[in-house]
A = this chain, B = another copy of it.
Amino acid sequence: MDKKKFVAVIGGGQPSPQEANLAEAVGRELAMRGAILVCGGLGGVMEAACKGAQSEGGVTIGILPGESRQAANPYVQIPIVTGIGNARNVAVVKSAQAVIAIGGSYGTLSEIGHALRSGIPVIGLNTWSLSRNGQQDNSIILAQNATEAVNKALNLAKHQ
């Protein structure tokens, strides 16, 4: 398993139907390509991605904020119970070699920040875009669909 690539899928707990479909397709594609899915373990985008990955026989890891494994969505196979609340966002992205962000709100924004700070590539699907002092920041690599996002994530996956 240690040669497999770890990719995090991040996004909100209450996605639009289109975002949920994207997340499920990303999960399926990651599993078909032999990658391991890392996520925050809860509902919404996280659950849809895990569902997709599991449907193709993939491995799913959920790094949970709370105190109980019961909070994991039903498609998480490996629940990690941190008890550290949203500080677990750091562990979600650091445990991955690339991150795919789908939609998402401020929690997702914090994860994008943590990933970029650590040099972990972030692929974006309908997610945040950033500018600083009036200048566009192009660190989030855009993708148009699930397949493109997974291709980019696996190609750019950080070695360490």
Please, what's the 1-or-0 string for A71-109, where 1 marks a CB less than 8 Å from any CB in chain B?
000101111111111110111001100000001011111
Q: Are B109 and A81 touching (Cβ within 8 A)?
A: no
Known contacts A110-B110, A111-B113, A67 near B79 by CB under 8 Å: no
- Which A residues have a C-beta under 8 Å from some C-beta of B? 1-2, 6, 36, 59, 61, 63, 67-70, 74, 76-87, 89-91, 94-95, 103, 105-114, 116-118, 126-134, 139, 160
Known contacts A90-B86, A113-B106, A113-B109, A78 near B78 by CB under 8 Å: yes
A81 CB contact (under 8 Å) in B2, B95, B106? B95
A133: chain B residues within 8 A (beta carbon):
103, 126-127
Given contacts A86-B117, A87-B87, 13 further A-B contacts (CB under 8 A): A2-B77, A6-B69, A67-B85, A80-B91, A81-B91, A82-B94, A83-B86, A85-B85, A103-B133, A107-B113, A110-B110, A110-B113, A130-B130
Q: Which residue of B lies closest to A2 (CB)?
A: B77
Known contacts A113-B112, A132-B128, A36 near B84 by CB under 8 Å: no
Name 30 interchain pairs, CB-CB below 8 A, sorted by A.
A1-B78, A2-B74, A2-B77, A6-B69, A68-B160, A78-B78, A81-B94, A81-B95, A83-B84, A83-B85, A84-B87, A84-B91, A85-B90, A86-B114, A87-B91, A89-B114, A106-B113, A106-B114, A106-B117, A107-B113, A109-B109, A110-B111, A110-B113, A110-B114, A110-B117, A111-B113, A127-B132, A128-B130, A128-B132, A129-B131
